[in-house]
Amino acid sequence: MTSYSNYRKRERDNNIKQYISYLNKKNNDINKKFNLYFEKLFKFNINSFKSGNNFNQKLLELLYYSYNKIKKEKKEKNYMLVDFYNEFYFNQKLIYEIFLGQGNNKKLTSTNNKNFFKNHYYLLIYIILDIIKIIKNEYKISRSDSESRTSSRTRSRTYSRSRSRSYSRSSLSSDLRRTLKNKSNWKNNKNYINFIKDLLPILEEQSITGIYTVESDYVKPLLELLYGYIKEFNDENEIKISNTHIVICINKLNKMSNKKHLELKNIL
């Protein structure tokens, strides 16, 4: 792991720890100090909202890793993302302020919040590009990987104890790599993908919804290829994106084989 990767991991771990500390604050405290908490997490004031500086990446990271940490601590297999969202007021306040409110008591909608479309649209664009990135990093699952792993374990048992220790140390990473290669990149990212699939209906329930026409010269051709391959949204005159569009894409991609993912990778 590079020094930059170590730095990013430390920074992320500190942010998650900070985020979880806010989850445990009382509602009144969150309401009074929310702008301060937001600025500590995202390094800018929510009243001068800007979606740059990897904001969407950081938002999803905080939600994803915090949810998984809380779920692990609770030791409840059936603890869902919607439970995590509803249990902690800070989650609700954060989502509300980013997409609907920004300091107002009255619930706002897309008609009276100038940032609504922009904030939600760019989150959706970030998510769909992340999904496409997972597909574009897909790799072929090779049967020979599994066979070589089995034979290497057999050979290692024939070595002397001292050499076996040395061999096992050097082979741990290669065994891990083979294990990962025996799962597609899509399956390796299954937990994150399911997190996205569960998050978007929560946004929909909170009236964070909309169907947007995609104008980007970079994103639009990619979605044309993706939608065409999964055979969805052909009846739409323009390339569009919404919570539902992404959930349908995920459902379709979840049902596809590694071979189909590789075909899509080559198209994209």
What mean pLDDT comes out for the span 253-262? 94
Predicted confidence band of residue 154 (pLDDT cuts 50, 70, 90): very low
Angle 20-58-116 from CA coordinates, rounded to 5° = 105
Identify the pLDDT of residue 151. 44
Most confidently predicted of 7-16, 135-144, 150-159: 7-16
Report the predicted TM-score, pTM, of the whole model to 2 decimal places.
0.81
Is pLDDT of 129 > 50? Answer: yes
Name residue 241's beta-bridge partners.
212
* Total residues belonging to the chain: 268
Predicted confidence band of residue 179 (pLDDT cuts 50, 70, 90): low
What are the tens digits of pLDDT across the range 32-68?
999 999 999 998 888 776 555 588 999 999 999 999 9
Identify the pLDDT of residue 117. 62
Q: Could you give the CA distance from residue 136 to residue 267 in angstroms, rounded to a whole number?
A: 9
Residue reference for tokens 């800007």: 50
Identify the pLDDT of residue 156. 46
Do 70 and 63 form a contact (C-beta atoms < 8 A)?
A: no
Domain ranges of the chain: 1-108
Predicted confidence band of residue 109 (pLDDT cuts 50, 70, 90): very low
Which one has a higher pLDDT value, 266 or 146? 266
What mean pLDDT comes out for the span 20-28? 96
> What does pLDDT average to over the chain?
82
Tell me which of 50-54, 166-170, 201-205 is least confident. Answer: 166-170
Q: Could you give the CA distance from residue 212 to residue 210 in angstroms, rounded to a whole number?
A: 6
